[in-house]
Amino acid sequence: MIVNLLNNNHSYSIQKIKNINEWVPGKLFSITLTKDKNFFFKAGQFTRIGFEIENHDNKEKNIIWRAYSMVSSPNEGDLEFYYVIVPNGQFSKILSKLDIDQTVFVRKQSFGFLTVDQFQKSNDNLWLIATGTGISAYISILKDNKTWDYFKKIILVHSVRKTEELTYQTIINKIKEKQSIIGNILNYVPITTKENTHNILHERLPIIIENGILEKKAEEILDCKSSSVMLCGNPAMLLDVRRILIERGFATKNSDDSKNLVMENYW
Ligand SMILES: Cc1cc2nc3c(=O)[nH]c(=O)nc-3n(C[C@H](O)[C@H](O)[C@H](O)COP(=O)(O)OP(=O)(O)OC[C@H]3O[C@@H](n4cnc5c(N)ncnc54)[C@H](O)[C@@H]3O)c2cc1C
């Protein structure tokens, strides 16, 4: 009852942690939370999650917030978030100590434009290009059936430092199998920049886009007439790849308001 009253009076709801998954010890985790039945979002969007902290000087309690992309799809009953523990990060310090049943504050509003309805349905294929935890938004997008009304072929490119950070592969493979039955294609292209593993690309994204190696591996042309592109994650990657794509004719906004490039910086 108290929880319900609080939920109604604030811009956030109060949820509980149902599960914590440790992907890479001490570094990469995901949490599953209960979900407010009135929380709506589009696949690819983010919200803000918060925890109460006490001010050491005056002992007052405040809520500290950070933005996180939903990993779960809009019609799933729970909410999932995937996160990295940044050394010395204020919020990361809290995230590194979470427990099952712990309370988490979740903003009632969802935000962001990393959504398929930004594009025309006429484009042939969609490239989802992420570094690190940027894959969060794309798992939500890939799980959502609406995405596959827009695009019949999707290329998911995930660039990380080490092989162990190539997470969510079981889910990616399941989606690939499910979509192939109805004639859709999901090509998954992993990249490890700090480890050279057999059959995995080992080079920074801007380089393998410019020299054509990414297209060869993806078995698809990255062309502004047939492709739509999403970029998500590290701002330095976004800046470099955006420049290359704009040189190739991609646009975040054309004169007729259409676009074939959308992006989301994580910091
Ligand atoms: C729209 C949006 C969506 C986001 N979604 C996610 C998400 O799904 N998962 C997630 O882990 N983070 C996500 N973030 C980042 C998140 O909000 C926090 O910044 C991050 O968790 C670190 O918080 P912090 O207080 O510990 O450190 P901060 O003080 O916020 O950041 C300190 C430094 O850590 C580095 N950093 C921050 N976030 C990341 C990251 N994700 N990967 C690598 N380095 C990082 C940057 O160098 C940054 O300057 C998102 C950010 C935005 C703006």
Tell whether ligand 1 has an atom less than 6 A from the beta carbon of residue 41. Answer: no
**Structure-token match 């938004």, residue found:** 137
Residue 226, C-beta contacts closer than 8 angstroms, at least 6 positions apart: 123, 124, 125
Beta carbons of 157 and 205 less than 8 angstroms apart: yes
CATH at 47: 2.40.30.10
Distance 222 CA to ligand 1 centre (A): 28
Ligand 1 atom with least separation from CA of 71: 8
- In terms of residue numbers, what domain contains 88? 2-107
Q: Are residues 79 and 165 in the same domain?
A: no
| Tally of structural domains, the chain | 2
Radius of gyration from C-alpha coordinates of the chain: 19
Give, for all 267 residues of the chain, the pLDDT tens digit: 344 445 556 899 999 999 999 999 999 999 999 999 999 999 999 999 999 998 888 888 999 999 999 999 999 999 999 999 999 999 999 999 999 999 999 999 999 999 999 998 876 899 999 999 999 999 999 999 999 999 999 999 999 999 999 999 999 999 999 999 999 999 999 999 999 999 999 999 999 999 999 999 999 999 999 999 999 999 999 999 999 999 999 999 988 888 999 999 999
What is the spatial distance between Cα 175 and Cα 143, in angstroms, rounded to a whole number? 7
Domain boundary among 81, 107, 133: 107
Domain boundary among 107, 124, 144: 107
Tell whether ligand 1 has an atom less than 6 A from the beta carbon of residue 91. Answer: yes
> In this predicted structure, what is the pLDDT of residue 259?
94
